[in-house]
Structure formats: C-alpha cells, structure tokens
Structure 1
Amino acid sequence: MDEIKSHKVSFFERFKRSIVDIRSYNFFVKESLGKGILYLFLLSLMVAFITSSVMSYKFKNSFEDEARGIMIQMPDFEFKNGEMNVEGDMPLRIDDYIIVDTTGNTDASVLDSYNEGILILKDKAVVKKNVVEKREFDFSSINDVEFNKQDVAKYIPKINNWISIFIVLFGMIFGTLWIMLSTMINALILGIAGIIISKVQKMDIEFGYIYKICIYAFTLSIVVDKLIIGYMPIYIPYFNIVYYIVAGIYMYNAMDSYRREIQQ
C-alpha cells in the first residue's frame, strides 16, 4: 500500500491502515503520543457507541415485550391519594415474582419463600432483592400522583425510549473510558515485551516509539473482541491470550518495518 504523505490523516484512514498496512506504523511512530492517544479515544468511542447501541436495541425490544405481557396480565388498577386499588381476585401473581394484594389480607411475609420478588399492597410496595435484603416503599410519599392502567400503558413507550437513550449514553461514557484505559495499560505491558525484543534483536527502538506502535497494534484485537466475539453464541477458550498474540504480531512486524526504514 502507498506510503502516507500527508500529516492530515483521518481517523478511519488510520483505523484501516493500522489493520491492513504495517508500513503505515512507520508514520504513526514518528507522530506525537498525543495523536496516538487521540486515535485510541476515537476508536474506543466508536466501539463503545456500537456496543451500547446494540445493547440498547436489545433492551428496548425485550422491555417492550415484557411490559406489554405484564400489562395484559394486570387487571384494571388506579393509584390515587397515596393508595393503590386493584380490581379482581387477590392475591394476584404476575410472572411468578410479582404479587399484588390491595385487600389487606397479605403482608410482607409472603415473600419469605421467594429468593427475590415484589409485593404491591394498598399503601406500599415491598421489594426483595435477595434472601437477606428487603426494602419497603411507602406510597404516602407520592400521594399527589395519580395514574391508572391506561396511563401506564400509554407511557411505557416513552419510558422505554428514555431508558434506551440512557443505556447508549452511559454505555458510550463508561465503555469509552474502559476500553481506552485498559488498552493503555495493555499497550504498556506489551511495550515492555517489545523493548526486550528490541534489545535482544538489536533493533535499537526507544520505548516511547514502541508504546505508540502498541496503541495502534491493539486495533484488530479490540474490534474482534468487542464487535465480533462479544456477540457470538459460543465460548472461545483462551481468547485473552489470542488477544495479546494478535497485537504482539502487529507490534513485532511494525518494529521490524521501522528498523528496516531507519537502517536505510
């Protein structure tokens, strides 16, 4: 592939060349570390956006189906003046973990036989998260709120949209930071191996140059790990080792390419 002649190289051009063109590393290594970090940030942001968008899409569909199923099973109800009133025979069980009884004939002890569950009474809700943690939410704190089954059904799509947007935003922030920081640490570890190789094979390449090479060398590993392996329905043993091996192969070939250039 042709050599890079301009210092104004787009992110996507860097992304492509870091995977398919080892000679381009000769250009990357001469740039400042800041440009390498910027590339890693944009790569992390792109991957985090894709993964969080897929996660949001899956949640959106499952939440809609789950909420629709619960609403179909739920009888007519109304919340008014801090009290929940439900029509029909009670106690009412929904999806085996939600119990509703607004008659006053059921108390929180009904959850003792459950590892987790939700009990909705006339004046409060009891949420059991595990065998030891149980929390109560008193409806009197929201006695100025009024809604019924029709209101809830109407707002489910809106709630779903907001949660989906939150998943994308949170996933982008957390995912970007996680991928970026972990890759910087991985590049440091791989760079130490690189400096040893440089000394043994008398390549005479500084650690700072090797570290910049390692940042780009992890590109394919990140893409395969986050965007391919992460969505495959099978488990691939020892992939963490393969993750480093692939990056190590890129690093070695890039170091060798740079060594041959500086010796010319």
Structure 2
Amino acid sequence: MNIFKQFYKSTHSPKDIASFRFQGIGKTILYVFILTLISILPSIYYLSTLLTAGIESTKSVINDDIPSFTIENGTLSAETDLPITIDKGDFSIIVDPTGVITNEDVNDEDNAFALLKNEIAVAGGGRVDTYSYSMLEGLSLTKDDFTDIVDKVDGMKGIIIPVVSTFMFLFSSAINFIEISILAWIGLALKNLAGRSISYRHSWRMAAYSVTLPTVFFTIMAAINTTVPNSIVINWFVQIIILFLAIKEIPNQKNTLEN
C-alpha cells in the first residue's frame, strides 16, 4: 500500500493502522516526515503572506508617512517639531526626535516600533526592548538607508521563506517524533488493557499512523485560522483513543492458539 493510501486509511480505519505494524521502519519514518510537511503548510502560507504584506506596509509607511530623518552621533533628528504616531491597526510606529516620548509610553502600546531621540524601542508581548543609537558609533543612518534595507529584505524573500520553512519543518519533525515515541510507550500500557501482546517497535509504527486524524483536523483549523480550545488535551485524547482501537484490532494470540 502506498503512503498516500495509508494516509487516507489512517484517518478512519484502526484495523488498517494495526496492519501497518509489520511494515519497514523506513517507510514509517518517511510517513511521519510527509505528515509533518502537511501540518506546517498553513504556517508556511501565513509566513509568506505576512512577510510580503509587512514589507509592503513598511515601504508605504516609510515613503508616505514618516518624515525624513537622520540618526547620527547617537541622536535622532527629523523634519518635525512634534512626535509622530502612525497607527496601523494592531501595530504602531512612533517617530520622536524631541525626547518627549519615553520607553514607558511605548510600552503602553500593544505592539510598536519607535524611533526615539536616543534609542530604538520595540514593544510587544507586554514588554519593551531598547537599542541605543550609541551602538552605531561612527555610522549614520537616514530614511533612505532604511528604505534600502527594506528593499534588500524584499529581494531576499525567496531565500528567507525557504530557510525559515526548513527550520519549521525540522523543528516540527523533531516534536512529532518525540510525541510519537511517547504515544508508543502509552501503547504498551494500552495493550494490557486491550489484552493484546505487541512490542514497542510495533507500537511505535502504529502510533505514527494514529496521529494522522488529529493532525489533519488541526491543520484544517490552522488553515482557516481558527483557534481550538484545549487543543493539546484534544490532540492527545484522540491519538490515544485511535491507538487503543488499533491495538484492539490485533488478533488475540491466546484465542488464535485455542482456535
């Protein structure tokens, strides 16, 4: 049975999952990698669209809303006598060469990027991080320099997205292998409850296919950008139930011998 047919069977058939326990470990590992790739597709899509939208929004703000400025000798100077705050919905951009706005003011914003008189302040997640212009000693940055930086990032999207996606895939794969290994150990406890006899290697193969249904469900929820309450509990509950049902499909050796 090919991997894609196994994928389909694993979404609804504990009996087929039980039969997969005899297949080679290499094919099972390949299945886990494919399942991981499917699970991160919504994240890769949102990463791509958010990066593209963020770059275009930043370009628009820099070109149209922010006055010309220069960062030199540890101080910001700009063509404005008043602080400027640009509200972009969930994100704010602040330019203040006057020194009126402080770090505490920036922290009052949910998410913000601020060019202050002597430092850059970035607010998010209930905290604010600051970076002093003195770190740029001997260097001078202007609005045009920031525009060039954004243009370079825009030109590197074709590299940034694949690199970040690869890290996401590797990290998610590692998490999935750990999760399947834990589920396989749980399977050894479930075999006693079901009155069946299986080894850890068989339990591991079955566990790898038992995670298919919850993975598909949460991938769809991620694709439509819907948060599922208690997702971790639901995920483990469904996996364990499917694995238990699959274990019960294994013929009972005692009954087989009697027959």
TM-score interval w.r.t. the shorter chain? 0.7 to 0.9
User: Alignment length, in residue pairs?
Assistant: 242
TM superposition score normalised by structure 2:
0.72
Q: 1:187-198 counterparts in 2 under 5 A?
A: 187-198=180-191
Aligned-pair CA distance for 1:165: 4.5
Instruction: Pick closer, same or farther for the CA change 1:221–1:38 going to 2, 3 Å.
Output: same
In the alignment, is the contact (CA less than 8 A) between 2:62 and 2:147 conserved in 1? no
- Gaps spanning 5+ residues in structure 1: where? none
Give the conservation status (yes or no) of the 8 Å contact 2:183–2:240.
yes
Where does residue 169 of structure 1 map in the other structure? 163
1:224 and 2:222 correspond: no
Find the aligned partners of 1:55 and 1:158 in 2 and give their Cα distance: 18
The unaligned stretches of length 5 or more in structure 2 are 87-91, 108-112
| Among candidates 98, 114, 118, match of residue 118 of structure 1 | 114
Mapped to 1, the partners of 2:80 and 2:235 lie a distance apart of: 57
Q: What amino acid is aligned across from residue 105 of structure 2 in structure 1?
A: Y
Tell me the SS of whatever aligns to 2:189. helix
- CA RMSD after TM alignment: 3.7
In 1, distance between residues paired with 2:155 and 2:14? 43
**2:153 maps to what in 1?**
159
State how far apart, in whole Å, the 2-side matches of 1:132 and 1:76 are: 25
Instruction: Determine the structure 1 residue equivalent to 2:248.
Output: 256
* Equivalent position of 2:130 in the other structure: 134
Spell out the pairing of 1:1-264 with structure 2 (5 A cutoff): 4=1, 9=2, 11-77=3-69, 86=78, 88-95=79-86, 97-101=93-97, 106-107=98-99, 110-116=101-107, 118-119=114-115, 126-129=119-122, 133-138=129-134, 139-143=136-140, 149=144, 153=147, 156-163=150-157, 165-173=159-167, 175-225=168-218, 227-232=219-224, 235-259=227-251, 263=256
User: Aligned equivalents of 1:63 and 1:212: distance in 2?
Assistant: 44
Question: Aligned partner of 1:186: which letter?
Answer: E
Identity of aligned residues (%): 17
TM-score by length of 1: 0.71
Equivalent AA in structure 1 for residue 179 of structure 2:
N
